[in-house]
């Protein structure tokens, strides 16, 4: 274990001259990976493995921020894209792939009667909010979870610089699994929509999603599920199929195209028809390579044991992590949670070190073991049982090291980079 990141740091210094943070995405930047002990540029990927610019190999448990559902360079997806590439990418009129992929989504997703495409999550969550406001004639929104960078949402977080005060005032955050926190917002505001991730770190408790839907129906408010991550990962029809709660609108993206840039807003026809009146339009929304990738990805998820495979490995990982934390005496600074397809080992504040210090040391040690992690375990179809065993072996070495560091209070001697700084917490 002696991985060096010299080339990564050289390229980062170069990138920072022309790109803020040196990255297009906060979660891929030095705000997410501690400088001095982390890779910052990946050169290539295959299956669940990636190689950085220094030639270091990693088993990747980030999966392109959950956009990789099948694995890097999946042959079926790549072949579909290559075939379409020979016919053209972006045309002067719609391509039939737009209709064909929309029909697949309508078939698979309970709430989907009509579909419009975008390029990233922020596109379609913002479109859903505009639809809700147009349909209800109301403006206030209740939010729970992460919904992108657009003003209407990010204004409700600590990363609200540049967002007008009038816009901030229209968005109100509530707490997952705390129905009273949402009820209080309903008592104070006339809501156009409630938008939430139907699940993130915790399962819904006490019919939480059903209670939200009942509140929305009572107040003539639209219910929007942000299924950017849960869609085609928790179940074929998303978390709404898994938990049997059908929203009015839903948004999808991430792994629906195995890394190709596409997203979708779907929902009731009477609401979606307002797309003809509001302005949601983009030159590249019908770009055919991503549509071909989506069709191939969803076909593979439907016809092969993609989700059962991911769920089985994920449950194996959760069970092993729970055993490890028990062996460590179930310390308060460790918490295992989430769904098998998207689980977490949360590092919380200890008596002497912050969660950011512990995460920085954790990532340093896991990077040295060739294990690339971010905020959770983002498994894909290319991961195998051996990869889970390798990850658990890494945890079995690193978690006791963290416990020993806390006990001996020698963090400064063990950590060799720059400690991560708080960004903003949404889950």
- Token pair belonging to 262: 């596409």
Structural domains of the chain, count = 2
Question: Do 182 and 323 have their domain in common?
Answer: no
User: How large is the average pLDDT for residues 403-422?
Assistant: 96
Q: What is the pLDDT of residue 100?
A: 98
Token pair recorded at residue 412: 């400064």
With pLDDT > 90 as the criterion, what percentage of the chain qualifies?
Answer: 98
CB 306, CB 314: distance < 8 Å? no
Q: Is residue 422 part of a domain?
A: no
Q: How far apart are alpha carbons 310 and 307 in whole angstroms?
A: 5
Phi, psi of 306 (to 5 degrees): -65, -55
d(CA 111, CA 270): 12
**Residue 375's pLDDT is what?**
85
Q: Average pLDDT for residues 153-170, to the nearest whole number? A: 95
CATH number at residue 390: 3.90.1150.10
Q: Is the pLDDT of residue 44 over 80?
A: yes
Distance of CA 22 to the CA centre of its chain: 21
As to burial, measured by CB atoms within 10 angstroms (0-12 exposed, 13-18 middle, 19+ buried), residue 18 is exposed
Total-model pTM: 0.96
SS3 388: helix
Residues 106 and 251 in one domain: yes
In a domain, 215, yes or no: yes
**Together in a domain, 159 and 48:** no
* Residue closest to 359 by CA, chosen among 344, 338, 339, 370: 344
CA dihedral over 237, 243, 247, 249, signed as positive or negative: negative
Helix axes 306-327, 385-408, angle to 10 degrees: 30
Q: Indicate whether 164 and 271 sit together in one domain.
A: yes
**Structural domain includes residue 149:** yes
Phi, psi (5° rounding) for residue 112?
-85, 115
Question: Is 90 exceeded by the pLDDT of residue 423?
Answer: no
- Is residue 113 a part of any domain in this protein? yes
Which among 269, 303, 337 is the end of a domain?
303
* pLDDT above 80: residue 246: yes
Please give the pLDDT value at position 425: 73
Residue 1 has pLDDT above 70, yes or no: no
Longest dimension (CA), the chain: 66
Q: Are residues 142 and 90 in the same domain?
A: yes
Task: Determine the pLDDT at residue 422.
Answer: 86
Phi, psi values for residue 11, rounded to 5°: -65, -35
Q: Is the domain of 299 the same as that of 310? A: no
CB 105 within 8 A of CB 248: no
Q: How far apart are CA 136 and CA 314, in angstroms?
A: 40
Phi/psi at 74 (5° precision): -60, 130
For 105-151, how does the pLDDT look when each residue is reduced to its tens digit (9 = 90+)?
Answer: 999 999 999 999 999 999 999 999 999 999 999 999 999 999 999 99
pLDDT above 90 (res 2): no
Q: End of a domain among 274, 303, 332?
A: 303
Query: E strand or H helix at 42, and its extent?
Result: strand 42-46
Same domain, 22 and 90: no
Q: Report the SS3 class of residue 102.
A: helix
CA-based nearest residue to 409, from 368, 351, 363, 346: 351
Mean of the per-residue pLDDT values for the chain?
Answer: 97
State the CATH number of the domain containing residue 117: 3.40.640.10
Burial class for 126, CB neighbours closer than 10 Å (0-12, 13-18, 19+):
buried
Q: Which single residue is written with the structure tokens 């889970």? A: 388
Same-domain pairing of 222 and 263: yes
278 and 410 inside one domain: no
- Chain centroid to CA 90: how far? 27
Alpha-carbon separation of residue 290 from 44, 78, 197, 259, 264 (angstroms):
19, 10, 24, 9, 12
Average pLDDT over residues 57-77: 98
Which structural domain range is residue 35 located in? 6-61+306-414
Q: Comparing C-alpha atoms, which of 184, 182, 177 is closest to residue 199? A: 177
Say how far apart CA 198 and CA 65 lie, in whole Å.
18
By three-state DSSP, how is residue 376 classified?
Answer: coil
Which residues, other chains included, contact 187 with Cβ-Cβ below 8 Å and sequence gap of 6+? none
Flag whether 240 is in a domain. Answer: yes
Q: How far is CA 293 from the centre of its chain?
A: 19
In a domain, residue 84? The reply is: yes
Confidence of residue 39 (pLDDT cuts 50, 70, 90): very high
Contact, 235 vs 96, CB < 8 A? no
In percent, the amount of the chain with pLDDT more than 70 equals 100
How do residues 352-385 score in pLDDT, each as one tens digit? 999 999 999 999 999 999 999 998 999 999 999 9
E-strand ranges in 78-175 read: 114-118, 140-144, 171-173
The verdict on residue 274 lying in a domain is yes
Q: How far is CA 108 from the centre of its chain?
A: 20
Kindly state whether residues 280 and 156 are assigned to the same domain. yes
Does 364 reside within a domain? yes
In this structure, the answer to whether residues 341 and 273 fall within a common structural domain is no
Residue that terminates a domain, selected from 287, 303, 319:
303
Do 154 and 251 lie in one domain? The reply is: yes
CA-nearest of 176, 132, 125, 185 to 151 is: 125
Q: 15-19, 26-30, 386-390 — which is least confidently predicted?
A: 26-30
The Cα 385–Cα 314 span in angstroms is: 10
């Amino acid at each position: 274990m002696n991985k060096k990141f010299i080339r990564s740091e050289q390229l980062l210094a170069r990138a920072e001259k022309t790109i803020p943070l040196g990255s297009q995405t906060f979660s891929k930047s030095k705000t997410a990976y501690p400088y001095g002990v982390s890779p910052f540029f990946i050169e290539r990927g295959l299956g669940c493995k990636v190689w950085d610019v220094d030639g270091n190999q990693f088993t990747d448990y980030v999966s392109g921020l959950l956009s990789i559902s099948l694995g890097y360079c999946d042959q079926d997806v790549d072949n579909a894209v290559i075939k379409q590439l020979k016919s053209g990418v972006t045309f002067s009129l719609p391509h039939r792939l737009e209709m064909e992929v929309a029909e697949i989504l309508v078939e698979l997703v309970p709430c989907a009667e009509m579909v419009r495409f975008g390029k990233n999550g922020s596109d379609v969550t913002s479109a859903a909010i505009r639809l809700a406001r147009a349909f209800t004639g109301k403006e206030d929104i209740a939010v729970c979870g992460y919904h992108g960078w657009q003003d209407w949402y990010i204004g409700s977080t600590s990363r609200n610089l540049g967002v007008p005060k009038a816009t901030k005032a229209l968005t109100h955050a509530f707490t997952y699994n705390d129905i009273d926190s949402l009820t209080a917002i309903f008592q104070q505001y006339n809501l156009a929509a409630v938008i939430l991730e139907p699940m993130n770190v915790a399962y819904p408790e006490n019919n939480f999603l059903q209670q939200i839907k009942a509140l929305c129906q009572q107040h003539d408010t639209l219910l929007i599920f942000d299924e950017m991550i849960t869609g085609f990962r928790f179940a074929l029809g998303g978390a709404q199929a898994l938990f049997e709660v059908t929203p009015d609108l839903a948004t999808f993206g991430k792994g629906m195209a195995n890394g190709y840039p596409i997203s979708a807003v779907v929902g009731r026809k009477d609401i979606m028809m307002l797309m003809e009146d509001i302005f949601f339009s983009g030159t590249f929304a019908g770009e055919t390579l991503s549509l071909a990738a989506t069709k191939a990805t969803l076909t593979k998820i439907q016809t092969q044991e993609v989700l059962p495979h991911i769920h089985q490995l994920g449950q194996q990982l959760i069970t092993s992590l729970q055993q490890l934390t028990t062996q460590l005496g179930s310390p308060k600074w460790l918490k295992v949670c989430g769904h098998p397809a998207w689980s977490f080992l949360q590092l919380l504040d200890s008596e002497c070190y912050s969660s950011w210090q512990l995460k920085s040391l954790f990532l340093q040690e896991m990077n040295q073991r060739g294990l690339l992690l971010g905020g959770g375990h983002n498994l894909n179809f290319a991961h195998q049982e051996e990869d889970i065993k390798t990850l658990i072996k890494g945890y079995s070495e690193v978690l006791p090291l963290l416990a020993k560091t806390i006990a001996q209070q020698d963090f400064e001697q063990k950590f060799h980079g720059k400690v991560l700084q708080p960004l903003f917490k949404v889950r």
